[in-house]
Amino acid sequence: MSSCNRQLLAGAPLSARFKCNRPLRRKVAIRRDGEDFVIAFQPEDTVVFRHAEATALRKACVFLRWEVIADTVAEANDIATW
């Protein structure tokens, strides 16, 4: 059994499941834009997704295998990012 299959069977987190022989597709940034949060392709800074919650955008990046190179959104549970 390959190491990739072992990770899937062991209940690995979502981000670890997509790292097996699958390179990241795009470089993106997550930032606030007015009331919403956005994902923008980098270095073009083209906004491709908009949502009220940054967490949903982070999950989308994992699912789409996009590398987040800049995340300027503060985490609620990490006071150091405020």
Please report, for the chain, how many H helices and E strands are present, in that order.
3, 4
- Position 81: which residue type? T
The pLDDT of residue 63 is above 80 = yes
Eight-class DSSP state of 12: -
pLDDT tens by residue, 25-57: 899 999 999 899 999 999 999 999 999 999 899
The stretches of 1-82 forming alpha helices (DSSP H) are 3-9, 14-17, 54-64
Q: Walk across the sheet containing 66-71 and list its strands.
A: 46-51, 36-41, 26-33, 66-71
